[in-house]
Amino acid sequence: MSGKKASKREKVSTASRDAGAHPATAFSERLAPLLDLAAEQFAEHGFEGASYNAMIERVGLSKGVAYHHFRDKADLFRAVVSRAIEPLPSAIGDWNDVETADAFWSQTEQMVERAMGAMAGNARTAALLRMAARSPGAMAEAFGAYEPAFTAPLIHALENGRRVGAVRDDLPVELLAACSIGLGSALDRWLAQHGADLGPRRMRTLATQSLSLFEQMLAPPQATRSRSRSKK
């Protein structure tokens, strides 16, 4: 590395990239009014209809401070989406260890239902996620920021599932966790685009069908066939 100091422009660019890559909790309380207003404006007027400079002026921030953290409107939008999904882990809840395979899948079904409800239950969040779903990079970045928060608890749950015969043991548990997160992200993106059109009954059906996808991927093959026969 050279001994030259980074230019002001380089410092701002680096800071904004770092800010956009982390959950919204990484931002100071000073930025909360801007993030609140941006969520409102993006949800009501869409990405194109929301003015970054107008929002900065309305909350009384200097442009220097705002652009230091969010280099453009797209950067601000990514932070808003990240902040919108921040409550998702709490909404899903903690895993409680179980003693049987049936109890494992019953609890998993409840968590899938809570996750889907949290994704679709808030009109503003749903509107933001629909916009984010049209921009795969923003969606992937927002959910990617929270992936570490999901991974360790998920591995714990899968290991519990293995102990009670609910989860296959022929693949590394870390791989099963990564596949589960990938499937969950795909379901989240689909729900973000279409969730507003689903009524409660269709949402419950979709939760059951989603659980079936996880079960086919995670359960021992023989157990999957047995459970399929028992449901007929």
The string of pLDDT tens digits covering residues 24-65 is 445 578 899 999 999 999 888 888 899 999 999 999 999 999
**Cα 93 from Cα 136, distance rounded (Å):** 26
Correct CATH for 88-231 of 1.10.3470, 3.30.70, 1.10.357, 3.90.1570: 1.10.357
Region 8-84: CATH code: 1.10.10
User: How confident is residue 15, by pLDDT bands cut at 50, 70 and 90?
Assistant: very low
Pinpoint the residues of the chain covered by CATH 1.10.10: 8-84
Q: Which of 47-61, 123-137, 176-190 has the lowest mean pLDDT?
A: 123-137
How large is the average pLDDT for residues 81-91? Answer: 79
Please report the pLDDT score of residue 71 as a whole number. 92
How large is the average pLDDT for residues 122-143? Answer: 68
How large is the average pLDDT for residues 170-196? Answer: 85
Chain-wide mean pLDDT for the chain? 79
**Of 207 and 1, which is predicted with more confidence?**
207
**Top-confidence range, 16-25, 68-77, 140-149:** 68-77
**Cα 73 from Cα 50, distance rounded (Å):** 9
Whether residue 145 is predicted with pLDDT greater than 80 in this model: the reply is no
Please report the pLDDT score of residue 41 as a whole number. 92
Please report the pLDDT score of residue 141 as a whole number. 65
Q: Which of 20-34, 88-102, 159-173, 207-221 has the lowest mean pLDDT?
A: 20-34
How large is the average pLDDT for residues 10-21? Answer: 36
Cα angle, residue 125 at apex, residues 122 and 128 outer, rounded to 5°: 150
Please report the pLDDT score of residue 45 as a whole number. 87
Please report the pLDDT score of residue 143 as a whole number. 64
Pinpoint the residues of the chain covered by CATH 1.10.357: 88-231
Angstrom CA distances, 142 to 29, 72, 136, 201, stand at 20, 16, 10, 29
Token digits for 90? 């709490």
Q: Which of 73-82, 88-97, 168-177, 189-198 has the lowest mean pLDDT?
A: 189-198
**Of 54 and 115, which is predicted with more confidence?**
54
